[in-house]
Amino acid sequence: MAWQTNRMKQLLREGKAVYSCTVAIPHPNLAEIAGLAGYECVMLDGEHGTVSSGTLDAMILASYAGGSTPIFRAPSLDTTLVKQALDHGAGGILFPHIRTVEDAKQAVALCKYRPEGRRGVGPGRPIGYGLGDPKAYVANANDNMIVALMIEEPQAVENLEAIAAVPGIDIFNMGPWDLSTAYGFPIEERHPLVVQAFEKALKLGQRHGIAVGVSPTSEQDARDLYRQGARFFEAVSVESFLAAALSSYRKACNPG
């Protein structure tokens, strides 16, 4: 089964780049298209988007149909939604607005079975709704799960060394818009304080085996960030790409 082999996690372990396409509109075809377009990860957005309990199931299936790993961007440290996403077969969870070691520990605990965490065991898709071997799945699930944390708060940057020491974290995903705004410099993605936070995350990530994620502003920026050590790229959202393409085409069609 596709969701029992986390291709995205394997790529990160090999030090390879993973490109993610965010889908905030809860329509499975968009998730499938993103995978078919070559994105290794589809980020199903339940924080800023409207992907929710009722739409997760079809969107996770569609992501796998397109050949990508679905990651659910949770609205918070929400026990119910995280449990549902994982039981539907999500390859991992991205948690927003992590601030403290306690937040990080809770995020890991929601995604991992005991003894590493406290994820509830239910007969969902990964174990064939009870028809598969639940013991085999549980035995390998923790190692196969991605736990990603948004680093978008100054408090998180201050606590980052302690957060990085929490076992079970796979990705520090930098949130430059929120972080720069919190520092008092709204939407300055390359403000020196944001760059310092990124460099700190890279240093700690290398020490603890945690991949660092970023949002590149261009193709060249992605290449530069890769050379600096970033490996997870929130490259584009379906909505912003569609808006830009529609706008560009409409302007190109103007007479004269």
What is the set of active-site residues?
48
Residues 31 and 66 sit within 8 Å (Cβ to Cβ): yes
Give the amino acid at 222.
A
3-class DSSP assignment, residue 57: helix
Residues 74 and 85 sit within 8 Å (Cβ to Cβ): yes
Q: What is the rounded distance in angstroms from the CA atom of residue 69 to the CA atom of residue 61? A: 10
Q: For the chain, how long is the longest CA-to-CA vector?
A: 68
Question: What sign does the dihedral 107-9-206-75 (CA atoms) show?
Answer: negative
* Cα–Cα distances in angstroms (integers) from residue 221 to residues 19, 39, 224, in the given order: 13, 18, 5
DSSP label at residue 89: T
Whether cis (ω within 30° of 0) applies to the bond prior to 75 is no
* Cα–Cα distances in angstroms (integers) from residue 131 to residues 89, 126, 137, 179, in the given order: 15, 10, 12, 45
